[in-house]
Structure 1
Amino acid sequence: MLNEFSYDERLGILLPDPKKEWEEFNINEQSEIILIWEKIRGKIPDRIAELEVIINKKQEQLNHEANFQRSCELNSEISELASVINDLWIWYRANQSVSGTKIHQ
């Protein structure tokens, strides 16, 4: 059932990517997909914590950076990481209650 998920390089996690409609899966397949997703979803806060550590390091670098160009690069990197964290929280919250009929995307 892992083939019903695709690795998202930007977010660093597997995301649901069903190859057919939810109703086409039998109940055992649906249960397995939900179980896999809940395991993935449970790791999202850890992934966010990893990214927050990177952001904090980049912010510390930014605090001591004298080069304007490098400061802009660091700001851009921090912004992108913050965007990834936001998207991860959206996935975490939007999928916290998977219904019996569909994985919400």
Structure 2
Amino acid sequence: MRYQFILDERLGIRLPALGLEWEEYSSAERADILLEWEEIRATIPDQIIRVETVIIDKTKQMSEEENFARSCELNSEIHELASVINDLNIWFRVQQDHETKMHQ
């Protein structure tokens, strides 16, 4: 397969797996890839909101937690979720960044 989109369990979205350099794809293939990516990309803000909701819940749990070890676990989980949001934001900008480079 020349390209595909594979589910990233951590991020909860499908990510592109390109078998070739971008320039090696035909214009039709590029258009297909970009169309599918744009559909996936449109789901990223909702995925971020879902992760933020989990962070809020875990933050509430942490503020009420009396067990120090469990507080540390919750803090680590919150840190990982924040990292997921950061990565989702990076992926959200991929199309925008690519279009900017194409127009320069």
- Tell me if both proteins adopt one fold, taking TM over 0.5 as the criterion: yes
Verify: 1:64 aligned to 2:67, yes or no.
Answer: no
Shift of 1:93: 1.8
Q: What's 2:75 paired with?
A: 75
Q: Identify unmatched segments of 5+ residues in structure 2.
A: none
Cα root mean square deviation, aligned: 2.3
Q: Does 1:32 align with 2:12?
A: no
Give 3-state SS (helix, strand or coil) of 2:7's partner: strand
1:20 corresponds in structure 2 to: 20
Question: For the Cα contact (< 8 Å) 1:11–1:88, is it kept in 2?
Answer: yes
Secondary structure at the residue paired with 1:86?
helix
Matches within 5 A, 1:41-56: 41-56=41-56
Higher normalized contact order (CA 8 Å, seq sep 6+, divided by chain length): 1
Which has the larger share of helix? 2
TM-score normalised according to structure 1 size = 0.85
Q: Deviations over 1:28-78 (max 9, x none)?
A: 211110000011111110000000000011011111100001000000000
Counterpart CA distance in 2 for 1:12 and 1:81 is: 12
Partner of 2:88: 88
